[in-house]
C-alpha cells in the first residue's frame, strides 16, 4: 500500500474511533480505500462523531506538476472518504454494516454507490505535507444520501466535495 496512514491515536480516542473500511469490507479491492488493494491509495477513514476523518500522505507519484497533488487523486480521495461517511452513517442507522456487494442475494443492508459529485479545488495542495480528509452525511432522502467533505493541508482547506450516493437496486 502506498502513501498512508494515520494511526487510530492520531485521529481521535483509540477506544471510540473505528476504521470504517477495515470493519465494513476488509477484503475490499477499491483503488482508493480497499484494504486488500496493495497498489491503491489506501485511504483509512476513522469515525469521528457523526462523520469520518482520515490522514493521508501523498508521494511523488501523486504529483501533477512540481510539488502539486494531482486533481484526479484529490477526487478519488474525497469520493472514497465520502463513501466511508455513508457506510458509517448507515451502520449507525441500521446497527450493521451495509452490504459490500451489488448482487441481489448479498447479506447486509442496502448498498449505496456514488451517483455523482462536485469538487471545488480551492488552492494547490503540496505533496510534501499530509492531507486531512473530513466528511459527513448532510442529507438523506430515499434513495439518495448526500455527503459534504473537505481536504485540508497545512492548516487550509484545499478542496471541498458535495457527493451523492444512490441506493443500488438490481435491474
Q: Per-residue pLDDT tens for 100-155?
A: 766 555 556 678 899 999 999 999 999 999 999 999 999 999 899 999 999 999 99
Domain residues of the chain, as ranges? 8-167
> What is the average pLDDT across 25-46?
96
Beta strands in 2-78 (DSSP E): 46-48, 51-56, 63-65, 68-69
User: Is 25 buried (19+), middle (13-18) or exposed (0-12) by CB count in 10 A?
Assistant: buried
What pLDDT does 169 receive? 79
CATH for 8-167 (3.10.310.30, 3.10.129.10, 2.40.420.20, 1.50.10.10) = 3.10.129.10
Radius of gyration, alpha carbons of the chain? 15
For residue 26, report the phi and psi dihedrals to the nearest 5 degrees. -60, -25
What pLDDT does 63 receive? 97
Amino acid at each position: 500500500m502506498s502513501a498512508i496512514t494515520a494511526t487510530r491515536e492520531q485521529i481521535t480516542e483509540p477506544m471510540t474511533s473505528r476504521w470504517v473500511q477495515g470493519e465494513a469490507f476488509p477484503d475490499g479491492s477499491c483503488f482508493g480505500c480497499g484494504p486488500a488493494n496493495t497498489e491503491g491509495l489506501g485511504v483509512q477513514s476513522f469515525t469521528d462523531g457523526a462523520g469520518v476523518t482520515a490522514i493521508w500522505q501523498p508521494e511523488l507519484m501523486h504529483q501533477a506538476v512540481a510539488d502539486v497533488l494531482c486533481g484526479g487523486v484529490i477526487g478519488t480521495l474525497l469520493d472514497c472518504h465520502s463513501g466511508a461517511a455513508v457506510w458509517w452513517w448507515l451502520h449507525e442507522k441500521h446497527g450493521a454494516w451495509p452490504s459490500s456487494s451489488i448482487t441481489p442475494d448479498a447479506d447486509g443492508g442496502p448498498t449505496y454507490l456514488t451517483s455523482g459529485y462536485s469538487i471545488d479545488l480551492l488552492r494547490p495542495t503540496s505533496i510534501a505535507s499530509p492531507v486531512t480528509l473530513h466528511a459527513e452525511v448532510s442529507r438523506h432522502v430515499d434513495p439518495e444520501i448526500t455527503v459534504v467533505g473537505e481536504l485540508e493541508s497545512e492548516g487550509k482547506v484545499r478542496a471541498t466535495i458535495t457527493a451523492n450516493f444512490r441506493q443500488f437496486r438490481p435491474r
